Amino acid sequence: MSGPVATVLTHRRPAETGPAIEALIEVAQSVGARLVIDEREATKHKLEPADGLEITPTMPRDVDICFALGGDGTILSALRTYAGTGVPVFGVNFGEVGFLATIDREDARSGFQRAFAREFDTLALPGIAVHAGNSAWIAINDVSVQRGQGQRVATLAYSVGEDEIGRVRCDGLVVATPAGSTGYNLANGGPVMAWGVAGIVVSFIAPHSLTARALVVAPNDTLTIQNNSDDEAVDVAIDGRPMIELQPGARLEARFVGNQGLLAQLEGINFYKRLQQKFGRLATLR
């Protein structure tokens, strides 16, 4: 019986993740696993084919597990890559908060051993299906619609189904999944949604209004956002990656879709424990 097949995605600073890549290769060889790395990652880390290490032109999708070494952005890239495939993403935090990470960098070697032994739970994460014109994307964390740098305040209308909820002059808005609700949405004062809640939340960036409030949209409803600005386009980003400009009068649709990403997490680490660990550290008063 052949061993498990794994792939890996790292952030753009190879000097930080290099020792963990070496440990991953060693652990994979010791357990009879096969590590498949695409040419971009191999070049980044100056790797050559070796026993148990295969280099391919692109990242394969037919694997047993994906290791993501970086911050939440890297883990999100891995989740999008394997969206809908059932491949779990095992994140090692080399970023700041690392809310999506399975383990911290100090535990990388033991974490790799546990991963190959399948000593972890998995959590299915929903996404946001986004459509604008002839383009479509899946977001795991959030979709942001923002005025361009140096441009005037945007006017954005938002509707659920056939009903327009409001029009807000603002710097932009964010549509987030429960997993993404602890990111840009939280910075906007939007609500934190526990993992497992079905629905998406809309929050506003610097609204020029006393009445603009965050809104949680039901999972079966479609949210429509229209750029009602007179002359200027707004920028649309998916999980922090710039995608398109939404021209005046143009609109995009966003809706909740379940079971897109599969996130590995250690036994006993649930959403509330993760929330407390990453955001609940308070200075001790003496």
Residues 44-78: tens digit of each pLDDT: 999 889 888 999 999 898 999 999 999 989 999 99
- CA dist 40 and 93 (Å) reads 21
Provide the CA 189 distance to its chain's centre, in angstroms.
Answer: 19
Average pLDDT, the chain: 89
- What integer pLDDT is reported at residue 22 of this predicted model? 92
> Quick check: 267 pLDDT over 50?
yes
Active-site residues: which are they? 72
Is the pLDDT reported for residue 285 higher than 90?
no
> Where are the CATH 2.60.200.30 domain residues in the chain?
127-258
127-258 is a CATH 3.60.15.10 domain = no
Considering the four listed CATH numbers 3.40.50.10330, 3.20.20.60, 3.40.50.720, 1.20.210.10, the one that applies to the domain covering 5-119 is 3.40.50.10330
Q: Write out the residue limits of the CATH 3.40.50.10330 domain(s) in the chain.
A: 5-119
Give backbone dihedrals phi and psi of 156, rounded to 5 degrees, phi first: -120, 130
- Per the DSSP assignment, residues forming a β-bridge with 169 are 155
CB 52 within 8 A of CB 79: no
Task: Assess whether pLDDT exceeds 70 at residue 280.
Answer: no
- pLDDT at residue 63 in the model: 94
Entry pTM: 0.84
- pLDDT attached to residue 40: 92
Q: What is the pLDDT of residue 283?
A: 41
- Is the pLDDT assigned to residue 1 strictly greater than 80? no
Percent of the chain with pLDDT over 90: 65
Task: Check residue 281 and give its pLDDT.
Answer: 52
pLDDT tens per residue across span 173-209? 999 999 999 888 988 999 999 888 999 999 999 999 8
Report CA torsion sign: 59, 65, 70, 72: positive
Between residues 29 and 211, which one has the greater pLDDT?
A: 29
